[in-house]
Every structure is written in C-alpha cells, then in structure tokens.
Amino acid sequence: MSSEPRCVPAPKDPYFRDAEQFFAVDKYMFSRRGCWLALSIDDVRYGKGSLYLTTNRGMRTHSRMTDGTKLFRIYPTFKGKRVPFAVQQRCASELTVLTRHGNVRFTWADSAKLMAQGDPGMGLLWTRNTEAYELVKPRKFGGWESSQRSAGPLFFKGLEGSTFRFADSWNWYKLNCGEVCGTTEPGPDGTFTMVCEEFAYAVKARETYPSYAEARADMQADWEDFLAKYPRFIEPYAKKREDTAYVLWTHLVAPTQTTPYWMMLMFPGEMDSQWQLVQNGVALQDNLELSRNLLLAPLERQGEDGQLADGYDEAFLSTGSFKPGIYGFALKNVMAHHDLLKEWPREDLEKLYTGAGKWANWFMEFRDDDGDGLPGFEGGNENGFDEVTAYFDQLSLATPDLCAQEVLNFEAQGDLAKLLGKPQAEIDEWYRRSKELLDRMIDKMWDGEHFVALKNYTHEPVFSGSNMHYIPLVLGKRLPQAIIDKMCADLLVEGKLLSPYGLASEVMDSDVFEFTGVKMGCGPISGPGQLFILAGLWEAGKKQEAKMIIDRYLCRLMDGGFSHFIDPIHGDGTWFWGTWNRAVFTILARMVSEG
C-alpha cells in the first residue's frame, strides 16, 4: 500500500482552468464503496457547477419528488458569504472545492460519514427546500438532525472546535421547515471541520469522531484494497485500469435490511438490473466477497416458479419483465479462474445451484408455448436490447440468443452439480439437456447461412439486421466449425454490424437504424452486444478476429469516454456513462490480457 495517494497537481490559474482531474467526477459522483450517499457536481469549472449531497436510495430515486436524488445543495462561503467555485478531484480519497479565497475538502470516513474541512475563513452553506413532514431539529452535543421523507435521517455536527447549526424555520401550518439553511462556524483558528452522517433509523451523536486526516486515510486504504483485487491488463488497456476500477468501487452499495447483499449501481440513483449484477460479478471475480454477493443478489428476488425480478433495490421491485438469464456464461468464466468449492461457503454454492437452476428451468416452462423445446424471448425488453428488429411484426418467437444462453446455463448447472457432489444421474441430466438443446437449435435454427428466430407454432423463420442472430457465438467451440467460420465472416464485413468502434446492434444500412435518446437495439453499440459475441468468438478460436473488434471497442471507450451507448457511424456516445461498459471493459480486457 502506498504511503501517499496518487494525486494530480494543484491548479495555479486564478480561475482554476488548469485543474486536472484524477477522475471524471462530473460524469459519475464522489463516493466510496458501500455508500448510499454521494457528492454530485454537474460541472467542475469555475462558476458553472452546482454541488449536491445526493442519495442513491430507491424510495427517493423512484418516487416522483421534484428534486429526485438531491438532498442538499452545498455552497462554499468565505467569511459567511457565498463565493464562486470550481471542483477538483486530486486523488481517490478527496474532493476539493476551489475558491479564490481558500479551499474546502471532502472525504468519506466510512460508508455513512461525509467529512469536510475548510481553510481559514472558509465555510459551507447547506440548503434544502423541505417537503411536508421534513424538518431539522437540534440534538445534544451541538448536533443537528435533518429528516427527509423516503431517505435516511442525517446528523450534522461541527468538530475540532468548530460548530454547525441550522436556522430555525419550522412552520406549523405547513408541517415543514420551508427552505432550511445550515452553516458552519469556524473554530478558534479560523478553520472548520464537520461531519454529515446517514442513519437507517434515529440519529445519534457519537462520543468520538475520526479526524479529517484519519477519515481520508481510511478512504484511501479501502480504495487501495479494492484496486489490489482488481485484474491487471496489458497495454493499451492498462491505462484505464485504475479509472475503471474507481468507477466500480464508487458505485458499490452496502447491504441493508431489504437488500442483504452488496449491489452495484448502473448509474448514480439507478440500480443494476439482474443480468448487469451478474456481469459485474464476473468482472470483480477476484474480489471473492463482492463477486459472491453480486452473483447471489438477484436470487433474493425470485418467484416461486423461478423467475428473477428485472431489478430491485431497497424500496423498489420490478417483475413485469426481466432480462436474460446468463448464470451459465458467468459461472463458466468464474469457474475457469477459481475453485468455488474452496473459496465460497458451501451454503452459498447450494443457494446459487438451486436458484440458477430454477431460473434456467423457468425459460423452458414459460417461454416455450408451442412445446417444441426451443424457448424464446418475447420482445427486446426481455432479450436485453430493447428495440430488436426481429420483433418488428411479432413478439412470439423462439430465439437463438435465449437457446444459446440456456445451453450454457444447463452446462454450468452440471458443472456446479459435479462440484457439489450431487448424484451422477442429476449431473448427467443437466449435461443431457444442454447437449440436446444445442443439437436442436442447430438443427432447427441454423438455415445454412444464419441463426434465425422461429415464429411459434408455424416455425416460419425470421431473420433481421439485429445482432441477436449472432449472440449464439457465446457458445464458442461448442458450435460446429463451419458455423463459427460463417458467423465470423459475417461479422468482419465493414459497414454492416462492424463499425470503427465495435459491433452495432443493427446493421448500419438498415432503414430502421436510429441512435436517439436511450435507444439500444436499433443501431447503437452497447456493452453486452460486444461481451457475448466477442467472448464467444475468442473461445471459438477466432482470437485474432475477436481482438481486432475488441480493440476497436475498448479503444473507443478509452479515447472517447465510457458512454453507455455509442453511435457506430459517428463515434460519439450518450452523455450518460454508468458502470455497464466498465464491467464489460474489465471482462474483455482481462480475457485478452490472459491470452
């Protein structure tokens, strides 16, 4: 562990135009592993940004309250008056608010305590427009409580001789405090230190608090511990290793009463869907506890028939749809690197075996209405790519992407059964089902040129410009060589699915190609569209071809930013970034680095 954190230089320009950033904090947030709170800034430049304390808790995020995730707006002050500022993140464990009069620094002492420290004369103003039943009230030892509806109560306190207080603004008629304003007061030396701590229930003042330096050291140590367990990459991917690890570290949220496992946010304020949690479990597999949590978390919301929720958090549950079951893909990858029998508790392996098995079986029972043994997703929302053109005229299809994932799901269940010492008949049954489905999908869905979808009951073939028809490459060497060769040749045709930046989700000369808003399946390049196709192409022995496309995609991320979706024609991407591409980057960069 390094004695000093890596830091970028302090700025010298009076308006901080030369302020380098350790991390693109305006694209993400300043937080640490386990936090449900964060500091969020929309623009780091002088005089342009708005700094907020935000929450990632579901009740706040998914309610329709005006301010969404924003809890408090925070302003730096000098001698009690607001002053313009810039923001710089110089290192992993500190965010600095820069003003022409002095600076204010923030760090996270742990997953619940935000601490701030200011130069002489500097202070902070915290404001919030309260809603009904929201109020601030004094507590003992000079502390203050702020209660927010649908968010955890917060405790504010000045430390090391400084103080913090809210102005009394209680309005009995409105049952709230209107606009609340909290301010710091300096200690005898003119500086201030304060803490803002989130509680699950009632707040309480603690007898002691860490110093700001101790808090920052704790945050830095936790980051370095996480980074040490994150995979290493060859160049050029290594240049974004630390940056990518930092995004994932800051978006991990700790267990709660209603979310008993560690989970990953897709964006600030939005939890991963179940298949994204599983993908992150693969990406972070060398961090055994976190990976185990991420793989088990989806199984906490499983119906009695086996269906997994599309997504959930501590206050929200979505079961009207779902995303693909990819435990087979995940487990084949993780078990190739780890001996789970030695590294996981037996009871967790049993839970995984039972839950993933029920999920695999669910598709065969509930997504094969005509009983032909070929399941299919009913629309792009289920296959994970949304606007999938194969569904342009109908929803009821047997689809090769689901069949391929089920082949892996059944095979991985057999691997787990063998690992757990299940009866040989049980092990053999999983492998038999995997092999029979593979043979059936090749016989019925491969038309000599492509994998096609089939209309239920009539078996009329459907082929479109969608990448869905190439997801079966996830099967790798399980496919016949002639099929691998043909699919690989298709993917190497420039201007179809292959772009300078990776694989599009729809051929680029399609009449329904579109890159607008959050559209994912009718053209844009997305993380999962690269992951399953290119990992399978690699496993199938087409490493040179796979690496060429992987390099295009990963280099676009590294050079152009980790956009959630990328335009395959122009190369620009969505303004929102998130963690999904970071997980895919991790898995693909590790795969290529390992050879």
pLDDT in tens, 470-491: 999 999 999 999 999 999 999 9
pLDDT tens per residue, range 164-209: 999 989 999 988 889 999 999 999 999 999 999 999 999 999 999 9
With bands split at pLDDT 50, 70 and 90, how would you rate the model's confidence at 576?
Answer: confident
Q: What distance in Å separates the CA atoms of residue 57 and residue 354, rounded to the nearest whole number?
A: 29
C-alpha 167/C-alpha 181 separation (Å) is: 6
Q: What pLDDT, in 10s, does the model give residues 29-80?
A: 999 999 999 999 999 999 999 999 999 987 655 554 546 789 999 999 999 9
Place of tokens 């500086």: 191
Rounded Cα distance, 85 and 513, in Å: 43
Q: Does the pLDDT of residue 6 top 90, yes or no? A: no
Average pLDDT on 259-285 reads: 96
Burial class (CB in 10 A: 0-12, 13-18, 19+), 339: exposed
By the 8 A CB rule, do 404 and 472 touch?
yes
Residues 6+ apart with CB under 8 A from 482: none
Average pLDDT rounded to a whole number, residues 392-398: 91
- pLDDT confidence of residue 190: 97
Chain mean pLDDT for the chain: 95
**Residue type for position 320:** G
CA 394/CA 267 separation, integer angstroms = 32
240: tokens are 């974004």
Hey, what amino acid is at 127? Answer: T
Beta carbons within 8 Å of 164's beta carbon, 6+ residues apart: 142, 143, 144, 156, 157, 158, 182, 183, 184, 185, 194
Give all domains of the chain, ordered by start, each with its CATH number: 37-223 (2.70.98), 344-464 (no CATH), 475-595 (no CATH)
| Residue 525 pLDDT > 50 | yes
What does each C-alpha distance from 323 to 69, 329, 386 come to in angstroms?
25, 14, 10
HSE toward the beta carbon, residue 486, CA cutoff 13 A: 14
Average the pLDDT over each of 2-16, 92-106, 148-162 and give the range with the smallest value. Answer: 2-16
Cα angle for residues 307, 395, 432 (degrees, 5° grid): 50
Closest CA to 445 of 500, 407, 489: 407
Compute the average pLDDT of residues 108-131. Answer: 97
CA distance 446 to 457: 18
* pLDDT classification of 575: cutoffs 50, 70, 90: confident
Does residue 83 register a pLDDT over 70? yes
Tell me the Cα Rg of the chain.
26
575 burial type by CB count under 10 A (0-12 exposed, 13-18 middle, 19+ buried): exposed
Q: How confident is the model at residue 297 (pLDDT cuts 50, 70, 90)?
A: very high
Whether the Cβ atoms of residue 311 and residue 273 lie closer than 8 Å to each other = yes
Contacts of 280 (CB under 8 A, 6+ apart): 248, 264, 272, 294, 579, 583
User: Which of 20-24, 215-219, 513-517 has maximum average pLDDT?
Assistant: 215-219
Coil, strand or helix: which one is 163? Answer: strand
Q: What whole-number percentage of the chain has pLDDT above 70?
A: 97
Residue 99: per-residue pLDDT: 98
Q: What is the pLDDT averaged over residues 247-276?
A: 96
The model's confidence at residue 4, banded by pLDDT at 50, 70 and 90, is low
Q: What is the sign of the dihedral through the CA atoms of 488, 490, 492 and 496?
A: negative
- Residue pLDDT, tens place only, 428-468: 999 999 999 999 999 999 999 999 999 999 999 999 999 99
What gap in Å lies between CA 547 and CA 589, rounded to an integer? 10
Q: Which of 214, 269, 366 is nearest to 71 (CA)?
A: 269
CB distance 514 to 523 below 8 Å: yes
- The amino acid at 165: R
For residue 256, give every residue at least 6 positions away whose Cβ sits within 8 Å of its Cβ, in sequence order, or none: 36, 200, 314
pLDDT at 187: 97
Alpha-carbon distance 241 to 219, whole Å?
A: 19
pLDDT for residue 1:
39
Q: Please determine, for residue 150, whether its predicted confidence score (pLDDT) is greater than 90.
A: no
Q: Which residues pair with 506 in a beta bridge?
A: 466
Per-residue model confidence (pLDDT) at position 60? 54
- The pLDDT, as a whole number, for residue 469 is 98
Contact in structure between 162 and 192 (CB atoms under 8 Å): yes
**Residue 141 DSSP one-character state:** G
Closest CA to 287 of 586, 588, 592: 586
The pair of structure tokens assigned to 278 is 């599983």
Residues 226 and 33: beta-carbon distance below 8 Å: yes
Phi, psi of 541 (to 5 degrees): 100, 0
Tell me the mean pLDDT in the region 396-416. Answer: 97
CA-to-CA dists, residue 263 to 104, 108, 198, 272, angstroms: 31, 19, 18, 8
Residue 281 has pLDDT above 50, yes or no: yes
Nearest to residue 332, comparing CAs of 305, 358, 295? 295
What are the tokens at 90? 């110089």
Q: At which residue do the structure tokens 């992150």 appear?
A: 280
- E strand or H helix at 470: none
pLDDT-wise least confident of 118-127, 146-155, 214-223: 146-155
pLDDT in tens, 216-235: 999 999 999 999 999 999 99
How crowded is the C-beta side of 285, counted as CA atoms within 13 Å?
20
pLDDT of residue 316: 87
Helix extents (H) in 384-462: 400-419, 424-445
Token pair, residue 96, equals 């600095």
The pLDDT of residue 336 is: 97
**Residues 413 and 441 sit within 8 Å (Cβ to Cβ):** no
What is the number of other CB atoms lying within 10 angstroms of the CB of residue 379? 17
Do the bridges between strand 122-129 and strand 113-118 make them parallel or antiparallel, or are there none, so unpaired?
A: unpaired
Phi (first) and psi of residue 145, to 5 degrees: -105, 135
